[in-house]
Amino acid sequence: MSIKVGDIVGRHSYQCDLLFRVTALSDDHQLAELAGEDMRLVADAPIVDLVVMDGDQQQERRKKIKEREKTSYRLFRQDYQLLRHKMEYTATGGYDKNQSYFRLPGKVLHIDGDPYYLSKCLELYKKLNVPVYGIHMKEEDMPEKVLPLLEEVSPDILVITGHDAYIRAKGGMQDLQAYRNSKHFVRTVRDVRKKYPYLDQLMIFAGACQSHFESLVRAGANFASSPGRVNIHALDPVYIVSKVSFTSFVDRINVWEVLRNTITGEDGIGGVETTGFLRTGMPIKSSEDDESKTINV
């Protein structure tokens, strides 16, 4: 069977452990450029190593990923309920039901190198009721184009992500040039921090699969991937920044409590102490359900 752009494939040499989309073919049709369906990974592979996955095979592999996604979503909702009850108690003076209030969660600017991943992330943000502005942008364009967007959108939280990969043939793990896109993420974070130097003024998540974690944190990212140089799930950045968005600005976030909600865990993502961005206000007059008290700006 011939391989064509858009096919869902697995790599025979890796026992077809991950699903990939074929995004490009070489002129001689001997090599394919691949993008992970669920993991933020890009790779090149010989056509002869690829296996087109049929519907049943795709469903079998996606079933395990979906279970992990459901677990992360459930953990986040549990944390959200605890945060909401704590905030409700504080805002209403100890559950004084005569008091009314509203919530202003932190606003997110999510810049993604993959339009497919961006669409999935925006769907989850909407499900979690997080205010977000999303845009697709190639990783190599981010250093030049992110700062003007920040001035236009004025977010509390910035996500710069997409694809990445460590390429062993280009150098050791500490060599930034051995990574497909880490250098672009690092430069973007460094330039943003020149204008927004305080970690609690603008929270930054940066990186993708196998990204150079240490360089991203040194550049000024609050959270980044990937300490263990492992693949991260496409939705992991959403769970990180949603936790920050819904945590009160008077509270600091325990890093481990954030990481436990992600699909990848501590091998895939790390970070530093960070302050939340949620603010409460009052009064508000509404007969709608409780979720209407969250105002997205």
- The answer to the question of residue 27 being in a domain is yes
Output the pLDDT for position 261: 78
Asked whether residue 292 carries a pLDDT value surpassing 50, the answer given is: no
Residues counted in the chain: 297
104 shares a domain with 177? yes
16-20, 133-137, 152-156: least confidently modelled range: 16-20
- The answer to the question of residue 196 being in a domain is yes
155 shares a domain with 38? no
62-66, 87-91, 209-213, 216-220: least confidently modelled range: 87-91
pLDDT band at 54 (very low <50, low <70, confident <90, very high): confident
pTM: 0.82
| Nearest residue to 27 via CA among 42, 47, 9 | 47
Angstrom distances, CA of residue 190 to CA of 178, 195, 206, 215, 248: 19, 9, 11, 10, 26
Output the pLDDT for position 98: 60
194 shares a domain with 85? yes
- The answer to the question of residue 292 being in a domain is no
Output the pLDDT for position 86: 67
Q: Which residue did the predictor score with more confidence, 81 or 110?
A: 110
- The answer to the question of residue 3 being in a domain is no
pLDDT band at 15 (very low <50, low <70, confident <90, very high): confident
- What single letter denotes the amino acid at residue 70? K
- Do β-strands 132-136 and 108-112 pair in parallel, antiparallel, or remain unpaired? parallel
100 shares a domain with 143? yes
Q: Give dist(CA 275, CA 146) in Å, integer.
A: 23
- The answer to the question of residue 30 being in a domain is yes
Output the pLDDT for position 71: 75
pLDDT band at 57 (very low <50, low <70, confident <90, very high): confident
Quote the tokens at residue 209.
């699969």
84 shares a domain with 198? yes
Phi and psi torsions of 33, nearest 5° = -95, 130
3-state SS, 179-198, equals ECCHHHHHHHHHHHHHHCCC
Residue ranges of alpha helices (H) inside 37-141 are 55-91, 115-128
- The answer to the question of residue 60 being in a domain is no
Q: What is the mean pLDDT of residues 16-20?
A: 86
Asked whether residue 133 carries a pLDDT value surpassing 80, the answer given is: yes
71 shares a domain with 38? no
For the stretch 65-86, pLDDT in tens is: 777 777 777 777 777 777 776 6
Number of domains forming the structure of the chain: 2
The CATH number linked to 198 is: 3.40.50.2300
- The answer to the question of residue 289 being in a domain is no
Domain housing 155 = 66-281
For the stretch 81-100, pLDDT in tens is: 777 766 666 655 555 556 66
Q: What is the mean pLDDT of residues 54-67?
A: 78
70 shares a domain with 26? no
242 shares a domain with 125? yes
71 shares a domain with 120? yes
75 shares a domain with 32? no
108 shares a domain with 81? yes
For the stretch 223-277, pLDDT in tens is: 999 999 998 988 999 999 999 999 989 899 888 888 887 888 899 999 999 999 9
User: Could you give the dihedral angle defined by the CA atoms of residues 35, 38, 41 and 44, in that order, rounded to the nearest 10 degrees?
Assistant: -30
- The answer to the question of residue 25 being in a domain is yes
Q: Which residue did the predictor score with more confidence, 87 or 35?
A: 35
